[in-house]
Amino acid sequence: MRIAPALLLLPLLAACAVGPTLEQRLATFIGRGEGDLVAELGVPVRSYETDGRRFLQFERERTVAVTQPDPFFYYPGPYRYRPWIAPPPAYAQVRCDITFALRDRRVESFTLNGQACG
């Protein structure tokens, strides 16, 4: 039995598949009620009401590893690079503020602001 060469590529293509983006996941809330939004995302950190619209803000924080330049690369002396000494790991907190605009208790739109929104 011969397997078509294209079928052999399917596992490789599946490994490259990426899930939906944050914007795509949040777009599913448009048109839904405020109760659904709070049930899925939790209690908002801030809310504001004006001109018949209600704004709910949610925060998303995560820790990411950041690369640092090797401090020993420019070491003065005969050995300029010391591969056996690794720089310590560094981490940073990044945040994404997600604000939903609601009219008549239904999600109308949303905005994203921050480094962790991608």
pLDDT digits (tens, 9 = 90+) for 43-86: 999 999 999 999 999 999 989 888 766 555 555 555 555 555 56
pLDDT, residue 6, reads: 46
Q: Kindly tell me the sign of the dihedral angle through the C-alpha atoms of 29, 33, 36, 38.
A: positive
The structure's pTM equals: 0.68
Q: Does 32 score more than 60 pLDDT?
A: yes
The burial of 105, by beta-carbon neighbours within 10 Å (0-12 exposed, 13-18 middle, 19 or more buried), is given as: exposed
